[in-house]
Chain A
Amino acid sequence: MKENPLSFQLKLNPEDFLPATDEEKQSQIIMRESVSFWKDGMRRLRKNKVAMVSLVVIIVVMIFSFIVPSFYPYTYKEQMKGANNLAPMQYSAEEQARIDAGEKVFPHIFGTDKMGRDYAIRVMMGSRISLLVGLIATCIILVIGSAYGSIAAFFGGWVDLVMMRIVDIIYTIPDILLIVLLSFSLKAPLSNLATKPGFHWLNTVGENLVSIFVVFALLYWVGMARMVRSQVLMLKESEYVTAARALGVGNGRIIKKHLLTNCIGTLIVTTTLQIPSSIFTESFLSFLGMGVAVPLPSLGSLASDALNGINTYPYLLFIPAVLISLIILSFNLLGDGLRDAFDPKLKN
């Protein structure tokens, strides 16, 4: 056949259309599964000894604060007669009599406080409250911060400008002052609300705790919003966002499905580092007497209560103090480890 020099026809080689040999097929088999984002991150995290130790500490503290109290023989508000201010592992006269009679009495591992309440269970409940505050507050911050930051960055222009100016303003307000003010002024409206049906749980939680959450929801999300914004600003220029838009995907879905899922590394790290700072703030407020309601203990209020008896019963102070430092330290170290594992760029 005569070849036309201007033809676009491909010069096909019949051999290219033969079935593949076994050897060729072999090269197509994936020998190792591709490493996903999670697997890669987890592998790096597992290698980080400090982060793993912190993770274990956090899990142990969680077991002690959430699971152990449910079958512990004492409760956090039970006041035992004659068992005031017992030293660790000491028994009251009544309990000693029962032991002598052959009964088994569970020891007061950390002793009792001045009201005759078992201190170990109070510490456990205290760390439960502290952890809960940290986790719930962080969830609130995560939701508001990521929504706000991604919306500001995604729409850009004057929307971004106005939203970020608001963030700037909130950022410079000293938070503790506002928490104090809010917990003070929300007390009455909230206790009114607590008398209405369906809101009785407010009494057990305490107005102060609710106002702490309100403040976190109002103020603390700005750091998260800034972080998410800077990530989304970068990500929204990616091809997959253009592709999604070309396919007719709505704005909300692009933000949720494409942008936020892709800054998951930043979200995890910022969230983990937010937990200790929330716990920090809560313990600070509880220490000043603006935290949880009275029968409920928190590590901050336990330390505050123990301050008066520091001469005679120093362990009442040191146990919650050490525990709160340990919790904050572990979360900080775990957060650092997660950052190294999932978001190496963030490391400065």
Chain B
Amino acid sequence: MVKYIVKRILLAIVTIWAVATLTFFLMNLVPGGPFLSEKAISPQATAALEAKYGLDKPMYQRYLTYMTDALHGDFGDSLKQRGRTVMSIIAMKFPVSARVGGISVLVALILGIPLGSIAALKRGKAADSVISVIATCGIAVPSFVICTVLMYFFGVKLGLLPTMGLQSAKHYIMPVIALSFYPTAYIMRLMRSSMLDVLGQDYMRTARAKGLAGGKILFKHALRNAILPVVTYVGPMLAYTITGSFVVEKIFVIPGLGGEFITAINGRDYTLIMGTTIFLATLVIVMNVVVDIVYKIVDPRIKLK
């Protein structure tokens, strides 16, 4: 077990390092550096700027400096937002995204698990067909389609919900629906198939033969086993929520990290792009490791390789 955890963490560290290195060199591929797009500036000013940001040093030295700084949580200053460090921007924007994303993940789990179970228990009945159709359609609809359709009907046509910002609880409704739509559909499908699998197992028959009450069989024997695949999905779901937030935050004008990332790309704010990428990648990778380890602990049947 310890060996597995150590191996997993080492792999994660290598991955994070690979992402950071890749990010650094990709950003340096852009010719002329970040100051090219500005108006014509004197050579002295360019030199001064380059000296300030350390761009006059050779590549490997810059790489080492960037990596050591990044290890200390310092991603440098934002190039466009004067006088603010990348870390302070992330620290300010990320909680907003995390709140919306967290609520969406919870909604997906709360809706997806029971609905998927119901579909499996009522296999072949009307409830099953309805849930299956919703689930199949749900994974086929891109998040921007859901966002725009929601916005048109509830925001524009009916005027029920506010279309931008995050000032009140009401503001959360549409972004959360848009963000949790795909994961909910996916969990429903996952839960349905794993529940069907579990229901066919021998121990279910044994439990019924022992005369256990239906509820007890369902919660103690079926659900606990069927829920395991959903646990593994939490990692990818998180990655999805983060990338999904790019679109959702852009459309609903939410002051979160996803929207900030898009703005940084359009504004060519190199340091902010690099910092955000490394931060988000690290987050996803770390969460994946945690989920994997939790999964191994929760399910002792899985042999540790």
> Is A93 an interface residue when CB atoms closer than 8 A count as contact?
no
Residue of A with least CB distance to B292: A172
Q: Mark B167-205, 1 if CB is under 8 A from A, else 0.
A: 000000000000000000000000001100100000000
- Whether, in the assembled complex, B285 has its beta carbon less than 8 Å from a beta carbon of chain A, the answer is yes
**Nearest CB on B from A286, distance (A):** 10
Chain A: number of interface residues, binned into ranges: 35 or more
Main secondary structure of the interface of B (DSSP, over half): helix
CB distance from A59 to the nearest CB of B (A): 18
Contact between B29 and A188 (Cβ–Cβ < 8 Å)? yes
CB of B160, distance to nearest CB on chain A (Å): 16
Contact A348 B142 (CB under 8 A): no
Q: Is B62 an interface residue (CB 8 A)?
A: no
A176-206 interface with B by 8 A CB criterion: 176-178, 180-182, 184-189
Stretch from A7-15, A110-118, A144-152, A309-317 at the B interface: A309-317
Interface string of A266-290 (1 = CB under 8 A from B): 0000000000100010011001111
Which B residues touch A138, using CB under 8 A? none
Q: Please report the C-alpha to C-alpha distance between residue A206 and residue B80 in the assembled complex, in whole angstroms.
A: 27
Contact (Cβ within 8 A) A185 B26: yes
Chain B residue contacts of A329, Cβ below 8 A? 136-137, 140-141
Contacts of A265 in B (CB 8 A): none
- A168 in contact (CB, < 8 A): yes
Contacts A165-B11, A181-B277, A317-B152 hold; do A172 and B284 have CB atoms under 8 A apart? yes
Asked whether, in the complex, the Cβ of B239 is within 8 Å of the Cβ of A174, the reply is yes
Q: Is the CB of A310 within 8 A of B156?
A: yes
Residues of A contacting B284 in the complex (Cβ-Cβ under 8 angstroms) = 172, 174
Q: Which residues of A contact B140 (CB under 8 A)?
A: 276, 325, 328-329, 332
Q: B288 contacts which of A172, A186, A310 (Cβ < 8 Å)?
A: A172
Does chain A have a CB within 8 A of B262? yes
The reply to whether the CB of A333 lies closer than 8 angstroms to some CB of chain B is yes
User: With the chains together, A182 CA to B265 CA distance in Å?
Assistant: 12
Q: How many residue pairs bridge A and B at CB < 8 Å? A: 119
Distance to closest chain A CB from B142 (angstroms): 6
Name the distance in Å between A184's Cβ and chain B's nearest Cβ: 6
- CB pair A178 B22 closer than 8 Å: yes
For residue A126, CB closer than 8 A to chain B, the reply is no
Q: Decide if B26 touches A173 in the complex (CB within 8 Å).
A: no
- Which residues of chain A are near B156, meaning CB under 8 Å? 310-311
Question: What sequence of 0s and 1s flags, for each residue 13-36 of chain B, a beta carbon within 8 Å of any chain A beta carbon?
Answer: 011001100110011011100000
> Which residues from B are CB-within-8-Å of A325?
137, 140-142, 145
Tell me, in angstroms, the Cα distance from A175 to B197 when the chains sit together: 31
Report B214-269 residues with CB < 8 Å from chain A CB: 239, 242-243, 246-247, 250-251, 261-262, 265-266
Inter-chain contacts of A300 with B (CB < 8 A) = 142, 144
Give chain A residues whose Cβ lies under 8 Å from the Cβ of B145.
303, 321, 324-325
> How many Å lie between the Cα of A174 and that of B235 in the bound state?
11
Q: With A174-B242, A284-B247, A348-B197 known to touch, is A189 a contact of B11 (CB < 8 Å)? A: no
Q: Which residues of A contact B85 (CB under 8 A)?
A: none
Query: How far is B239's CA from A46's CA once the two chains are assembled, in angstroms?
Result: 37
CA distance A287 to B145 in the complex (A): 10
Interface residues of B (CB under 8 A from A): 11-12, 14-15, 18-19, 22-23, 26-27, 29-31, 136-137, 139-145, 148-149, 151-152, 156, 193-194, 197, 239, 242-243, 246-247, 250-251, 261-262, 265-266, 273, 277, 280-281, 284-285, 288
* 6 additional A-B residue pairs with CB within 8 Å, beyond A184-B265, A283-B144, A307-B148: A174-B239, A184-B30, A184-B273, A284-B247, A303-B148, A329-B141
16 contacts between A and B (CB under 8 A): A165-B11, A168-B11, A174-B242, A174-B281, A184-B265, A185-B27, A188-B31, A189-B31, A280-B142, A283-B144, A288-B247, A290-B265, A310-B151, A310-B156, A328-B141, A329-B136
